[in-house]
Chains A and B, each alone.
Chain A
Amino acid sequence: MTRYFLTLISFFLSLCTFAQGESVATSNNFMLSNHKVFVSVAVLTIILLLIFSFLFWIERRLKQLEDRQKN
């Protein structure tokens, strides 16, 4: 399973290679040119990070409760 998971991640990481050839067209992009897009991405990434941290934290707490009930 780990192998399939890593293959999938590497597939998505291949997008980074496209980013190397930044074109003339992208350099004039509205959202990229005023840098506001980076603020949006940063805010969304932080929100996602908080959501996933919270979910993993709950998972850990639930595991502790389940183990306590078993014992």
Chain B
Amino acid sequence: MNWLYTKWWKWLSAVLLFYVVIGSYMVPLSPGISKIGPLSFSPDSIYTFTISGYHTHFKDPGVGKIQFWFKSGNDYFQAKDLNILSANTGEVKFGIGSNQQDSLKTNNFDIIGNDDIDGTFALREGVTLIKASKVDSSSTVNATTGPVEVVHNKHQFLAFPYREILYESIRNTFFHVPMWFVMTALVFFSLVCSVIYLTKGNSLYDVFAHQSIVAALLFGICGLATGMVWAKNTWGHYWVNDPKLNGAAVGVMIYFAYLVLRGSITDEIKRARIAAAYNIFSLVIFALFIYIIPRLTDSLHPGNGGNPAFSKYDLDSSLRMFFYPASIGWILLGFWIFSILTRLELIKQKQEL
């Protein structure tokens, strides 16, 4: 009980969240390729591709040798005749012979570039080859594979990874994801309290279970709101038919039903017992809808439906510097709100006595 009244972890929550909010916004995004045109090309012709960079420094004196490759499978074809138009725009010439098209593992080409300032940056599956129906043996166009020189960005100590679709919104990782961590932590805590209440019959644990669900719902709503804003900016709509989104909505509604159930029973002991039993089943359904079903079906969310999780590609060391403190900070804030609600409820109960 004393931990409800101690202040050090509440201050820790404040410090961590100020660090996350201020720090994460001051860290820039790594260089990348935002777009390329044309998006498709045919064999036996040389095309001029316009490459648009993001945070790149093509015109900078220290940029050194700028190189671009078109990658298909494990083959790296070197782009030629680079023409720099601005700090973020350049033109390269590239073409492939129809006699080479059958040896390609995929028709989609990744675009990879590097220079001394920006390091190595890429655009996944940026250009598509439309294969010719016949091989033109007289064609002189022939793409040559070149040695790839990977240069690490030496000038930028701390930068968030550049990811297509996400761009600057990658910072929402520190807000949206921890909201669900907080909700999960609180509903799990509530489950433990419900189990203790059913075994010991101490009404204090019923108050704990009830108030932690109220606090969890607050973070669940914040999780849905931050997710919707993120979805609009990345997938184009506030709500898409994704099993994780629908599961999250169902999960939140299950706990709203818990509050409705509590409100519908007037007898205190009966209310506490039925609510505790319902709470145990709720967590099972909540976990099923949020953590299990989205992993079994196709999903837009990272780490679900065969998609790589953030931890595999995107959650690099720079993101971890903020993601872990954010998770701890938000969870502590969640328990802080829970402690306030609990103390308020205990004061009310004492006054009624």
Interface residues of A (CB under 8 A from B): 1-2, 5, 8-9, 12, 15, 18-19, 21, 23-26, 28-32, 37, 40-41, 44-45, 48, 52, 55-56, 58-59, 62, 65-66, 69
Contact = CB atoms under 8 A, between A and B. Distances in A.
B168 to A, nearest CB: 6
A25 B155 CA distance: 7
Nearest to A37: B25
B157 A62 contact: no
B55 A30 contact: yes
B60 interface: yes
Among B29, B155, B168, max chain A CB count under 10 A is at B155
Contact of A18 (B155, B157, B325): B157
Given A58-B340, A62-B343, A41 B157 contact: no
Contacts of A25: 28, 31, 55, 57, 117-118, 153, 155-156, 159
Given A59-B340, A65-B347, A9 B15 contact: yes
Given A5-B8, A12-B23, 7 more contacts: A5-B11, A25-B55, A25-B57, A25-B118, A25-B153, A59-B340, A62-B344
A55 B14 CA distance: 10
28 contacts: A1-B8, A2-B8, A5-B8, A8-B12, A8-B15, A12-B325, A15-B23, A18-B158, A21-B157, A23-B156, A24-B155, A25-B159, A26-B28, A26-B159, A30-B29, A30-B54, A30-B55, A30-B168, A31-B28, A44-B25, A45-B22, A55-B340, A59-B340, A62-B343, A62-B347, A66-B343, A69-B347, A69-B351
B225 to A, nearest CB: 14
B23 A24 contact: no
B156 to A, nearest CB: 4
Nearest to B340: A58
B28 A29 contact: yes
A12 B15 contact: yes
Q: Give the secondary structure class of A's interface.
A: helix
Given A24-B62, A32-B28, A66-B343, A45 B158 contact: no
Interface in B37-60: 54-55, 57, 60
A29 B29 contact: yes
B157 A23 contact: yes
Interface in B74-110: 87
Contacts of A55: 10, 336-337, 340
A12 B347 CA distance: 38
Interface string B118-132: 100000000000000
Among A23, A25, A31, A56, max chain B CB count under 10 A is at A25
